Amino acid sequence: MELVKAVRVIENSVTEMSGSVGCVFRIFDRQKKSEKITEIVNHEGGIAMAASALFNITDDEREYARLTSELKYELDLQSDMVHAKRQGRLEANLENARRMKTLGFSTEQIQAVTGLSVQQIQDI
């Protein structure tokens, strides 16, 4: 869209604008952007409700959300570490089972040492 046409479209009322012209906001100064955004918020009920909800979030709610996010991150990190440790142990047990097999240990002996299932040992 040509810039001149974009300016004409964005200066229309909100009801006449299409959803695809939001990118032309870059050409307006701060005051003009603010006015148009206010007009859009007032026109669209869902946006108005969301804006109202955002303005009414308390500092305690923000802190709760931050702490919850931080806790989730820490729990995810711990879960990833537990998974990595388990995977590392399995790989070490499989490697030990391979070595034991080449040394002639029986399946029962390998199972007793590594904790692997008979099927896992046979698959090596």
Rounded to whole angstroms, how far apart are CA atoms 28 and 40?
Answer: 15
Which position has the token pair 């570490």?
81
Pinpoint the alpha helices (H) of 17-58: 30-43, 45-55
Name the more confident of 119 and 11.
119
For 112, residues 6+ apart whose C-beta sits below 8 A from its C-beta are: none
Centroid of chain to Cα 106: 48
Whether the CB-CB separation of 9 and 17 falls below 8 Å is answered with yes
Which position has the token pair 């499989």?
94
- Tens of pLDDT, residues 30-48: 677 777 777 776 777 777 6
pTM over 0.75: no
Whether the CB-CB separation of 44 and 19 falls below 8 Å is answered with no
Residue 40 has a pLDDT of: 72
Average of per-residue pLDDT across 7-35: 59
Residue 3 confidence class, pLDDT cut points 50, 70, 90: very low
Q: What percent of the chain shows pLDDT beyond 90?
A: 49
Whether the CB-CB separation of 111 and 121 falls below 8 Å is answered with yes
Residue 2 has a pLDDT of: 47
